[in-house]
Amino acid sequence: MESYTPISYLNDFIFCPNSIYCHQLFGSLNKSLYHSPYQTEGLAVHSSIDEKRYSSKKNILQGIDIYCDEFNLCGKIDLFDIDKKLLIERKKNIKTIYDGYIFQLYAQYYSLIEMGYDVQKIQLYSFDDNKTYSIDLPDSNLELKNKFIELISNIKNFDYNNFIQDNKNKCQKCIYSSLCSISLII
């Protein structure tokens, strides 16, 4: 049986496959050793979901575990409004809508569909500026859907031994750059 890939890996892998390795290696350390203030603020914003105190309404699912057998993915959703059939992924501050954000929503969407929920709309929510961004469902954007499927395949077939980071900009923005053996800014 193939193991499940955490949904969070989708965005992380696009950023840098080595960040997944570093997260696993250093994840048990005190986060203050490597988290920037931005990541610490993001965790605080997300705590209301993780602790299921965002809403007491029974039609709002928050922070539930999800699995998608079709793509072998697992994770948690942020929010799903059963009555509105609306899935929401919350981010601290969205300046650019990255494919990784959309792919996290797609993974959550497919998981909820497999679980029997009727998901009609998906959105990203930017906490800092209180903005919502409607995202096309996967079947309405076949180009992104195909990129999503390709990403999952790339993750499953990734060869860490042949990985070379060639984007110094990513290293400069990486929380693990000071701990990373392949960082371009050490």
Kindly report, residue by residue over 64-113, the tens digit of the pLDDT: 999 999 999 999 999 999 999 999 999 999 999 999 999 999 999 999 99
Quick: pLDDT tens for 139-165: 999 999 999 999 999 999 999 888 888
Which ranges constitute the DSSP H helices of the chain?
A: 8-15, 17-26, 37-50, 99-114, 142-156, 168-173
pLDDT on residue 30: 53
Sign of CA dihedral 113, 117, 121, 126: negative
The token pair that represents 128 in the structure block: 């800092």
34, pLDDT greater than 50 = no
Structural tokens at position 37: 């203030």
Q: How far apart are the first and last CA of the chain?
A: 39
Handedness of CA 160, 162, 165, 171 (dihedral sign): positive
Domain locations in the chain as residue ranges: 5-173
Q: What percent of the chain has pLDDT over 90?
A: 58
Closest by Cα among 35, 27, 132, 37 to 79: 132
- pLDDT the model gives residue 31: 54
Q: Would you place residue 35 in the very low, low, confident or very high pLDDT band (cuts 50, 70, 90)? A: very low
Query: What CATH number is given for 5-173 in this structure?
Result: 3.90.320.10
